[in-house]
Chain A
Amino acid sequence: MQILEVLKQSIIEGNEEHAARYAGDAIAERIDAKIILDDALIAGMNVVGEKFRTHEIFLPDVLLSAKAMYAALAKVRPLFLKEKIPSLGKVVIGTVQGDLHDIGKNLVGIMLEGAGFEVIDLGTDVAPERFVDEAVARDAEVIGLSALLTTTMPGMGKVVKILKERGLSGKIKVIIGGAPVNDEFCREIGADAYCFDAANSVATVKKLLGQSTSRAE
């Protein structure tokens, strides 16, 4: 299993070329896709996430690691369907209606994917109803809402309201993030959690879903 360790290390170092090569080698060694995913890719990204949280490394390093992970994932992904590997959960993310900022939302998506979640990114300027419709249609457990403007943050409350009206409160959790929002606003609109930054998104989602956060933190 030495190959998994070098693969994990290439993810941590953000070496895209090595990550793709070692993922191919791991497949050639007939290692289960689930083991490659858990013990190398997710394990590597977890180390990266932890270093990021403790300010040992910074966003560019995390994103280089994410790029390496994507390169490895591209090799391993075809095996997922064959081996029917479930994700940690499905998260619908998007920037609320009227808002076109997507960098923060993209970072959250990258962190969640790196931790093993399936991310359905609806993009920017997303209507409240669409968040709920897509979450229901895709059987998602969490909706992640991003806003960067004080004029668009009320859109987050609308999503929570629609979930309540459809009897989905509690079944589909809502996390919010973005420059103008905070814990107080989160409580005010009845969302389930406020995420201060992308680095904390994995732990926040895991906590909401009652999963162990030790691997991702």
Chain B
Amino acid sequence: MRRIEHISTDALIVNRDAVFRGQGMTEKTRITKTVELLFEKALAIFRDAASPTAVIDEVSIEQFMRIYRGDGANDVPSVVELIAPRARVLMLFALTLGSTITDEIKRLFNEKEVALGYMLDVVASEGTEAAAEELTRRCLEHCKREGKLFEGDAVLRYSPGYCGWHVSGQKKLLAALNASEIGIAHNESFLMNPEKSISGVMISGEKKIHFFKNNFAFCEACTHKSCRARIQSLGKK
């Protein structure tokens, strides 16, 4: 059933290490006090200016595949088309931090507050991930309560633009969710507005359905390779 979820930024743990990694730093890098303060300031702005809101909707595999196929631009075969049919629950989602935080980042850059502006941009990106994680956790709990998922089941998110799902898939996905109700739109390049938004499908089921080898044709051009860490986070099959 379609519903709208509001997530408090107080409940989100923004991954500090990921924020610094996003700026080229490693675990061995000595973070100066000034940079640490910059991070704290950006985090405070994030907590104040971001208002994570999501829309989710459970769909059948038939409904999902119609949305997933989009305008026929996906890679074949792709990760999602192999995993989705084996899922117990397919939940479409779109989540945004809202436009206030994007406006704040732009304002900081315009006013030459570039260090804080960039730090806030990275914090907001990590904050979007954290909000999506919280949404995933809620989804998992909800499905368990309804008896659709069981102990040991796992949820992973898959998004247009990754793993063979063409970014143009955004069009049908956002339309199916009526994401405009929470202020998400896309332009002709399928870029979401507000920028700090994320969309896709949460695929729930046995852990083992999420395990795949990254030897698809599109894996070669992928610069993220984040699928490995995501699969690893599930533990053993």
Contacts and interface: CB of A to CB of B under 8 A. Distances in A.
Contacts of B38: 60, 64
Interface in A88-128: 98-103, 106-107, 110, 125
13 contacts: A58-B23, A60-B38, A64-B35, A67-B112, A67-B114, A98-B187, A100-B187, A100-B193, A101-B195, A106-B109, A107-B118, A125-B187, A179-B223
Contacts of A110: 114
B160 to A, nearest CB: 11
Interface in B25-42: 25, 29, 32, 34-35, 38
A88 B61 CA distance: 59
Contacts of B119: 60
Interface residues of B, number: 29
Given A58-B25, A60-B35, A61-B32, A100 B115 contact: no
A55 B24 CA distance: 8
A70 B110 CA distance: 12
A158 B104 CA distance: 32
A177 interface: no
Contacts of A149: 167, 189-191
A103 B35 contact: no
Interface string A54-67: 01001111011011
A150 interface: yes
B189 A63 contact: no
B223 A103 contact: no
A151 B193 contact: no
Nearest to B113: A67
A53 to B, nearest CB: 11
A58 B29 contact: yes
